Structure 1
Amino acid sequence: ELANSVPLGANEAIIYISVHVNSSLNSSASGFEVWYLSPDHARAKPVLSQSAVEDKELFAILNSMTEEEYMKESTLVAKFLLDALKAEIGRESPVRGIKGETFFVVRNANMPSVLAEIGFLSNTREAKRLRDPKYLQKIAQGLHSGLAAFIQHFEQSRGFTAR
């Protein structure tokens, strides 16, 4: 709700990145991954405000187009974040990949959105690393670099996110 209510000015945009630490019944599970909203599912609520478009048919078309663009952008954000995390911590933690799912945080954000799982607390080695400020700094640097790379790509392509 907080992200969805951020007021945006002209030529402003917003991206939602939710950072989590994983856990598993399998204590050997390890690694990092980035999730985006599965293309099989639409967001929980319409992306656009119904009051912004009076014609219901036009509203449905514009909402569908905006939803598609957010899905493409979310997939690209996920790719850039995963690549940057891999560069920072890929030697220390396995890369689990980019995955689509309908997690609450990505299906309820009316903007490009991803969920980054940065490791497993249930894995003793990873839990120890996740308490290390230097390792956390590498994760933060990876998230920053990935986001910066996405923004640079987006600006150079003038918002056309097809790759």
Structure 2
Amino acid sequence: MSGKPLVVLDPGHGGRSPGAVSRSGLREKEINMAICLAVYQALEGLAEVLLTRQGDENVTLVQRAALANAARADCFVSVHCNSSVDRRARGTETFCFPGSAAGRRLAVLLQQQLVRSLYLPDRGVKTARFAVLRQTRMPAALVEVAFLSNTVEEELLRDQAVRQKAGRALARGIGEFLGL
């Protein structure tokens, strides 16, 4: 080991699970991977980074948490895009497990950086009992970067420069959390 902190990044969905799909066919799993690769690049040299999936493969929620737990990660960040039947729904929100003070701190830092970088409405930090938050033994957060169901935000998510910007924002939040 290098003595550097270990971050596990979870590009949500993959394989048979595309996640949300926009009206034009943009798939969440591809956006999530692109953003995670941008985080990976931004943290290079500062932290060790593991991805829960390397490509478009099926990885269960249990496997994602187990990988992070076995690696003894210092934090876990799951990246997603939101969707709603209300096509006007907009913004960024981040989730942590109820009662996890460290998870909440991580979520707050990620949320602040994303909102500051993407200029999207701040939907806040919320708690949830999502499997990847519930089953991980380290501070964990799940970010919903933007809404694929909103045509304005879909166009943003289609843009590789915006994906890079989101990745760098998440890397800054992780870096702040880890004291890098």
TM-score range, shorter chain: 0.5 to 0.7
1:85 Cα deviation from its structure 2 partner: 1.0
* TM-score normalised over the length of structure 1: 0.67
Q: Of the candidates 20, 35, 41, which is equivalent to residue 80 of structure 2?
A: 20
The one-character-per-residue Cα deviations of 1:127-157 (angstroms, maximum 9, x if unpaired) are 11101011111100110011111111xx8xx
List structure 1 runs of 4+ shifted beyond 2 angstroms.
none
Unmatched 5+ stretches in structure 1:
40-70, 156-163
1:87 Cα deviation from its structure 2 partner: 1.6
Measured in 2, the distance between the counterparts of 1:84 and 1:23 equals 21
Question: 1:147 aligned to 2:174?
Answer: yes
User: Whose relative contact order is higher, 1 or 2, with alpha carbons under 8 Å and at least 6 apart?
Assistant: 1
Query: C-alpha root-mean-square deviation of aligned residues, in Å?
Result: 1.3
1:72 Cα deviation from its structure 2 partner: 1.2
The one-character-per-residue Cα deviations of 1:43-70 (angstroms, maximum 9, x if unpaired) are xxxxxxxxxxxxxxxxxxxxxxxxxxxx
Question: 1:104 aligned to 2:169?
Answer: no
Measured in 2, the distance between the counterparts of 1:87 and 1:32 equals 11
The one-character-per-residue Cα deviations of 1:74-111 (angstroms, maximum 9, x if unpaired) are 11101111111122112xx1111000111111001111
Matches within 5 A, 1:1-163: 1-6=66-71, 8=72, 13-39=73-99, 71-90=100-119, 93-152=120-179
Measured in 1, the distance between the counterparts of 2:121 and 2:176 equals 22
Measured in 1, the distance between the counterparts of 2:81 and 2:131 equals 16
Measured in 1, the distance between the counterparts of 2:89 and 2:116 equals 20
Measured in 2, the distance between the counterparts of 1:113 and 1:88 equals 21
1:118 Cα deviation from its structure 2 partner: 0.3
- Matched residue SS, 2:88: coil
Q: Which has the larger radius of gyration?
A: 1
